[in-house]
Structure 1
Amino acid sequence: MLHGQSNAWAIDYDNVYNDNNLPEDAHWVRTIGAMHVYNRPAMYPEAENTNWYVASGKAPDIRGGIQLVGNGMVGVLGLNIGLNLVASQNVPIAIINGAGGGGAIASYQKNDSGLNAAYGRLQHRLEASGLKLHIKAFIWNQGEGNAGDAVSDYKNALYQLYKNLSSDYTFEKFYLVQTPPGCSASSGHQTVREAQRQFAAEHLAVKIITRHGFPENPLFDGNYFLSDACHYHAHGYEMLAEWISNMAKYDFYNGTVDYQAPQLVRVIRESGKSLSIEFDKPIAVQPDLKVDGIVYSVKDQLFAINSKKIISISELKVDSKNNKILRITFKGKRLTKGAVITYVLGDTYPDTKEPYRGPWLVDADTGVGAVGFIKTID
């Protein structure tokens, strides 16, 4: 079950997911009904449709308002999750994509509008599918539309959505995809990331994964973002689908590697100019990355103290004796207890409109990016 806004909708912008390009076992990925844009009243007959289809990697292409609804569609992300699991597990997979192509989290909350609202349309399809009590994982991929929200506001909204979903359906896991930089938000998405991090830490059934750490795109000069600085070429959706399906293999099919993102354990001040950050998994620091001729490094781009980006880190390295710990040393900076550190501040490279796409802190084994956070230093 996949839900959220445009990067869950996952349009086939590169026009590569045509029927004649799909592997032979693609017919084992199925869906029910139609994807439907979030902010329009029900469009008939598609909104009522409960026919089963072989899933399509297309999604309604809402640019210019041309196509707002589409039978049998699950998008590039949804189809690739299904394809990966069919290929590795030899089981049929149902993917139902209720994403709506835009909107804040409020647009996806339960209300009494029935088929005229995103929640009601999804509920109609799941009720008809016979799967409402047999969902393996509910995947929530949203947050771009809530840039600048207070941490408590987004977390409370996420709790309300989760509460209603838990009441209406039975699912074993709730996969929460942390919102990355991008989508040209002037205020950045760091508060949304922190709300998502806290929510995952507070609920046992919730697992968090990021969109941080994707390898460079071999087809588009390394860039997995489209020129709109928000959405992805197929490569980005394919990578996220690979990570999510690998997480599902671990949770449901006896996989041996957990693809959940490294999560923050604690931040400790060790001296006036050094601190340590502990994660729950071994981590690695990606090498410097050149973007438009400029070299960027983790130590100069990704950390902030009291909401001011740090450019005075003299050393940043993984501890040689415990690879779950990152040690940071500052150039003469005096750290005080009670200061607040942010990992991933803002959405773009400095003095540009280019969305930040690396380098990152990542899982040393899987390459999945560590969760973004805002944390008081102990």
Structure 2
Amino acid sequence: MIKTATHVTAGDVYVISGQSNAWAIDYNHAYNDDDLPADAQWVRTIGAMHVYNKSAIYPEATNTNWYLARGKAPDVRGGTQLVGNGMIGVLGLNIGMNLIASEGVPIAIINGAGGGGAISFYQKTKNVDLDSPYGRLHYRLEASGFKNKIKAFIWNQGEGNADDSVLDYQTSLNQLYKDFKTDYTFEKFYLIQTPPGCNSKNGHQNVREAQRQFAKTQEKVKILTRHGFPSNPKSENGTYFLSDGCHYHAVGYEILGKWISNMAKNDFYGALVDFEAPQLIGVTLESSTSLVIEFDKPIAIQPELIIGEIKYDLKDYAFAINNKRTTAISNLEIDPKNPKQLRLNFSKQTIYKGDTLTYILTDNYPESSIPYQGPWLTDFSTGVGAIGFTEVVK
């Protein structure tokens, strides 16, 4: 007898990296190990999740043991739990369980998210660097033997870059992606567009536009949003945000995990519905008071949303002309002959070729600290929110 082994599985590998909404703490204490469904036993991981802004914490930083994955992530709020063996967070566990339930394939989820920091914190420094998030993730993937067998690499980051220009964030993302392609082999790269939230004074519209442009230029990249989440049935006011306006109750991570796993089903397992977010084709001047926005998929308009005692309608709160939110849209309608086109009719405002149209400007509702959470433009079939953009009117 040379060796014995237990808990042996064969399946597919997914990698997550990014900030705290990729870290995905179990804020609602709904993912305790003893309460997990049976499918969770087929989600595996290697090593430990590790907070982004600390030097290597030993022995966890060099841990290469395999674990039954846990739906927890280190809860850094108290400043003490900075690392966690076998943890992949609420988002990671839901991706794994969803795929196992539908496909019957064991899933490895390796979560290298760090819980905070701008994209600069996640860049590659050197080949072996356990003091950096990139280095720690690379070490675990090397040890796993799967660094060249990744189904999809999931990047969910941007909250820490609200002050960036479009070019600044795009340059950083291009460099990070170049290093990922050098060090790993993955079939798809899932880019999660950064939504409103996190109380940024400048908003994340530049980050959203940089992510949109990046996804258009890379063959393996597919883009998904965190726009379009339905109301949370477990909260009094329906919000999926925590009181900090940045992170999510479990329901938010569960919805995103479902969308990501559904996109993977289409890419790898033969499902017919594509869950990629509706992407912009262009914005065209139809007349001095009318614009047509065209997407690559049929879209839908979510109904007005009431938060507190205020009624929010998409046409009054979601669009901006030349970086200034407009309330001059008199009518917003989907073309009945072409459901991929949305017509905006303006009153008391003249639109010109060369103007810029932004969908989702800044992070909060006007004169409010409440993060924008709808209404949204969504995919007619899947409910996934259309991407945010800033585009020149042609």
What TM-score, normalized by structure 2, do the two folds share? 0.95
What is the CA–CA distance in structure 2 between the aligned matches of 1:204 and 1:17, rounded to whole Å? 36
Among residues 147, 155, 166, which one is paired with 1:140 in the alignment?
155
What is the CA–CA distance in structure 2 between the aligned matches of 1:219 and 1:5, rounded to whole Å? 25
Classify the secondary structure of the residue corresponding to 1:13.
Answer: coil
Among residues 220, 242, 248, which one is paired with 1:226 in the alignment?
242
Deviation string, structure 1 residues 69-113 (Cα, Å, up to 9, x no partner)? 000000000000000000000000000000000000000000026
| Aligned counterparts, 1:191-340, within 5 A | 191-221=206-236, 222-340=238-356
Q: Which amino acid aligns with 1:307?
A: N
Measured after TM superposition, the shift of residue 228 of structure 1 is: 0.5
Classify the secondary structure of the residue corresponding to 1:114.
Answer: coil
What is the CA–CA distance in structure 2 between the aligned matches of 1:233 and 1:333, rounded to whole Å? 40
What is the CA–CA distance in structure 1 between the aligned matches of 2:291 and 2:367, rounded to whole Å? 28
Quote the residue 2:5 is aligned against.
none
| Aligned counterparts, 1:1-378, within 5 A | 1-112=15-126, 114-221=129-236, 222-378=238-394
Classify the secondary structure of the residue corresponding to 1:2.
Answer: strand
Measured after TM superposition, the shift of residue 148 of structure 1 is: 2.2
Q: Which amino acid aligns with 2:112?
A: G
What is the CA–CA distance in structure 1 between the aligned matches of 2:194 and 2:39, rounded to whole Å? 32
Measured after TM superposition, the shift of residue 20 of structure 1 is: 1.9
Aligned positions, number:
378
Deviation string, structure 1 residues 201-221 (Cα, Å, up to 9, x no partner)? 111100000000001000012
Deviation string, structure 1 residues 130-187 (Cα, Å, up to 9, x no partner)? 1001000000000000002100110010000000000000000000000000000000
Measured after TM superposition, the shift of residue 333 of structure 1 is: 1.6
What is the CA–CA distance in structure 2 between the aligned matches of 1:16 and 1:336, rounded to whole Å? 51
Deviation string, structure 1 residues 332-366 (Cα, Å, up to 9, x no partner)? 32111100110000101111101111100000000
What is the CA–CA distance in structure 1 between the aligned matches of 2:81 and 2:33, rounded to whole Å? 19
What TM-score, normalized by structure 1, do the two folds share? 0.99
Measured after TM superposition, the shift of residue 315 of structure 1 is: 0.5
What is the CA–CA distance in structure 2 between the aligned matches of 1:334 and 1:146, rounded to whole Å? 33
Measured after TM superposition, the shift of residue 54 of structure 1 is: 0.4
Classify the secondary structure of the residue corresponding to 1:115.
Answer: coil
What is the CA–CA distance in structure 2 between the aligned matches of 1:40 and 1:93, rounded to whole Å? 29
Q: Which amino acid aligns with 2:89?
A: G
Classify the secondary structure of the residue corresponding to 2:348.
Answer: coil
Classify the secondary structure of the residue corresponding to 1:228.
Answer: coil
What is the CA–CA distance in structure 2 between the aligned matches of 1:307 and 1:129, rounded to whole Å? 47
Classify the secondary structure of the residue corresponding to 1:248.
Answer: helix
Residue segments in structure 2 that go unaligned for 5+ positions in a row: 1-14
Classify the secondary structure of the residue corresponding to 1:116.
Answer: coil
Q: Which amino acid aligns with 1:325?
A: Q
RMSD over equivalenced CA pairs, Å: 0.6
What is the CA–CA distance in structure 2 between the aligned matches of 1:86 and 1:168, rounded to whole Å? 27
Classify the secondary structure of the residue corresponding to 2:164.
Answer: coil
What is the CA–CA distance in structure 2 between the aligned matches of 1:116 and 1:77, rounded to whole Å? 25
What is the CA–CA distance in structure 2 between the aligned matches of 1:347 and 1:360, rounded to whole Å? 14
Classify the secondary structure of the residue corresponding to 2:110.
Answer: coil
What is the CA–CA distance in structure 2 between the aligned matches of 1:216 and 1:78, rounded to whole Å? 22
What is the CA–CA distance in structure 1 between the aligned matches of 2:243 and 2:192, rounded to whole Å? 22
| Percent of aligned pairs sharing the same letter | 65
